[in-house]
A and B are shown apart, each in its own frame.
Chain A
C-alpha cells in the first residue's frame, strides 16, 4: 500500500515536472521599444525556441519607473529599453542580474553597462537632421553647441520632453559638466529653439519646411524616407566627440526577480544572433552592435563616429538633473 502511494506520488511529481517543463517555457517582456519594431523578432523567437513571450509595450522611462514601483514582485522577466538612461535606472536600483559573460562579450564594451547588468542590442546615433534644400553640410556646426549661436535663431527643432533628448542632455552633463550644459540649454531657449513632442515630429517638421535642422536619433529620417522617398531631410553626424555624436544603445537585462531566467537569457541571446542584428540593421535602420554584421549602406561606419568616453548606466544618475535644467531653461 505504502509503496503504491509512493509510486503514485512519484509519478504525479514527474508528471507535474514534465508539464511544468513544457508549459513553463514562457516569459514576460517589458518592452520600451514599439510593437511594430519588436513583435516580428519575438514571433521569430517563439517559432525557433517554443518559448511564448507575453509583452507589455509602453514608454521606456514609464516601464523603468514601473519596475521600480513593482520591486521584487515585478511580473517582468526581461526589460528591453530604448535608451541607456532607463536601463541604467533599473540597473542602479539593483533590480537587474549580472548577465553571463558570453552575452556581455559579444558586443563592444562601450555599448553595455560597465558591470554587465544590461547589454546593448542595437545602436542609435545622435545626429542633426537638416533640410538639404536649404542648408549645405559645410554650414552645419561641428557640435550641438553651434546651434546656440544667433545665426540659428528659430531654425532648430528639439524634443525637450522626449526620453532620447533628456538622455542626451544627461550625457552632456556627464561630458561637459552641469554649468556648460545649463548655458547651452539657456542659449537654445534664447535662440527660440522650436519644441516638438518627439523625434518623429522633428523629422516631419524638417521635411515639411517648418524648421531647417533638428537634434534627433539617426534612424527616424531613414524610416521617413522609406515611406516617402521625396523627403528633403538629410542626416548630419557631428564630427567631434560630444554628447551630440553619442551612439546610445537600446538594450536589455534580466530582472533579478524573474522566475524564468533561463528563458530570459535565451531571449537576450536571441537579440544578439546574426538574424536579429540583421533585422535591426535592415528593418529599424539602427546600428547592429555585434561585430561583423553590416549596417545599412547609407550610414557611416559605427567605428567612424567619434564617441566620448562614458559609463552609460551613469546617465540614470543625472537624468533628474537633466530634466531640471531643461525645465529651468524654460524648454519644458
Chain B
C-alpha cells in the first residue's frame, strides 16, 4: 500500500516511469492457470449457448435471409446507430458533468445530489419510458395536474431522453468513483502554472479519467443497443424491437437469430471504437492523501450548475416517482386492491443478491487478467463479456433454454441457471467498475508482494483484491440493481413459481393495472436505494475531506 503511494507522490515523472515498467512486466509475466479457469467458468457456458444458437442460422429459412437482406434492415441499423450515438453522447456529458461538479466544485448540498443523481439507475428503462409517455401530451398527467402540458414524447426524441436517463448513472458512478481516486497533485500543479479550471478539467483531469469514462460510455452504448422496453414504448423502430417481434411472432426462430448476429457485429463495432479512441496511456494512482482544490462556482455558473443538476434529477427521478405515486394514490382512491407482492420482493432480493455475489467473485479473475496480464487473449475475453452484455436479453434467454434442454436437462429451469445467466450477462458492469479501480493501482504493489515471498494466489487475495475491493463492491451493487430490473431472461428461465418486482411491474402495466404496476415499481426503486447509497459513498467521502 505505502509503496504504491510513494511511486505516485513522485509526480508525473514517477507515473510515466511506472507505466513503462508495467508494460514490460505484462509482456513477460504469465498469468496463473487458475485465473484463466475462473474467467472461463463464467464466460464459456453462456458463450457456448449463444454460439450454438447462432449455428441454427445455418438452417436459416428463406424468410430469414429475406429479412436480413432487405432495405428495412439497413434503415433499422441506421436508426439504431443514430440512437446509440445520441444516447451515449448525452449520457457521457451528463454523467461526467455531474461527477465533476460533485468532486471538484463547491456545489451546495453535495451529499443529497450524490445519491439522487445516481438514483435513476434503479428505475427500469421501460418504466421511465412508460412514465414519460403518460406524463406528456395534451391529455397527459402533467396537463391533468397543472393545466398545461409538455408535447407528447415518442419516437427518437422520447427514446433518446428515456435511455439517456436510464444510462447516464453508469457513466456518473464509474467516473465519480475514479475521480475520487485521482491525486489532485497534478491538477494543482497545472493550476499553479496558470491553467484555468476548464483547462485543468480538459487537459489534466479528463485524460486521467479516460478509462473510467470510456467504461461508462461503453456500458451506456451497449445498454442502448440491447434495450427493448424503452424503444418499444417510445415506438422507435430500433433493431431489438424487430428482433423481439420476429421471436414472438413466429415459430421459425431463424429470422430473429440472423438479425441477432447483425447486432453482435454492431456491438463489436462499438467496442472497437471505444478501444480506438482510448489511446495508449495508463495512469496509476491510489487513494489521494490530500484534499482537491475545489473550483468555486460563483454567480451565473452556480445557478447554471444547480439548474442543470436539478433538471436531470427532475426528469430522472422526481417525475418517475411522482407519476408512479400518483397512480398508486389514484388507484387507492378508486378502491383498487394494492398490496405488497411479497413473493416478488423476495424473488428480486434473492435473485439480485446472488447474481451480485457470483458476478463479483468471477469479476476478480477477469479484471486481474485484463489489467495485469493484458494480451490478445485477455482482450478477447473482455470483449466477449461486453458482447454478451449488448445482446438483446431475449436472444440470450432463448439460447439458454435450448442449450439447457439439450445438454443440461437436470438443471433446466432451476435457480442455479437463472443466477448464473444473470451473473454472466451483467458481469460487464462489475468488471467495468472494478477494472477502473485496479488500473489506478500500480502493479508495482503486486511485485512488491511477490518479491517479499507471497505466492501469486496469496498476492491476489491479500493484496490485489483488497486494493480493488471498493471497485468490486461497487460492481456488485451495479449488478444487483441491473439484475432486479431484468425482464426477458427472468420470464423464460426462472423456475416455475419464481417472480420478481420487474415482472410484476411489466405484467400489471400490460394489463393496464397502473396502480399495481406502480406499487411494484416503487418497491423495486426502494430496495435499490440502499445499493445506490453505497455506490455514492465515494463521492461523499471526497466531499467530507
- State the A residues within 8 Å of B (CB): 28-30, 34-37, 54-59, 61-62, 65-66, 68-71, 73, 75, 89, 160-161, 163, 166, 194-198, 200-201, 203-204, 207-210, 220, 223-224, 226-228, 316, 319-320, 322-324, 326-327, 330, 332
Contact = CB atoms under 8 A, between A and B. Distances in A.
27 contacts: A34-B507, A34-B508, A35-B507, A36-B511, A36-B516, A37-B511, A55-B496, A56-B496, A57-B507, A59-B491, A61-B248, A62-B248, A65-B253, A70-B405, A71-B405, A75-B496, A161-B248, A195-B237, A209-B138, A210-B152, A224-B512, A227-B513, A228-B330, A319-B250, A319-B251, A320-B63, A320-B249
Nearest to B491: A58
B365 to A, nearest CB: 33
A46 to B, nearest CB: 12
A210 B137 contact: yes
B415 to A, nearest CB: 13
B401 A66 contact: yes
A208 B413 CA distance: 41
Nearest to A58: B491
A186 to B, nearest CB: 14
B508 A36 contact: yes
A199 B507 CA distance: 13
Contacts of B67: 327
B249 A36 contact: no
Main secondary structure of the interface of A (DSSP, over half): helix
Interface of B: 63, 67, 72, 133-134, 137-140, 152, 154, 232-233, 235, 237, 241-242, 244-253, 330-331, 334, 336, 401-402, 405, 409, 412-413, 491-492, 494-497, 499, 503-504, 507-516
A61 B499 contact: no
Contacts of A224: 512
Given A56-B494, A195-B235, A330 B249 contact: no
A163 B248 contact: yes
Contacts of A201: 133, 233
Given A197-B232, A201-B233, A210-B137, A332 B334 contact: no
Nearest to B154: A210
A228 B204 CA distance: 56
A107 B504 CA distance: 32
B242 A65 contact: no
A181 B324 CA distance: 41
Contacts, number: 141
Nearest to A284: B511
B137 A209 contact: yes
Given A30-B496, A36-B508, 4 more contacts: A28-B496, A54-B496, A68-B251, A228-B330
B248 A66 contact: no
B499 A35 contact: yes
B413 A320 contact: no
Contacts of B494: 56
Contacts of A203: 512
A224 to B, nearest CB: 5
B388 to A, nearest CB: 21
Contact of A332 (B246, B413, B508): B246
B245 A323 contact: yes
B245 A332 contact: yes
B246 A327 contact: yes
A59 B496 contact: no
A210 B249 CA distance: 26
A62 B491 contact: yes
A39 to B, nearest CB: 10
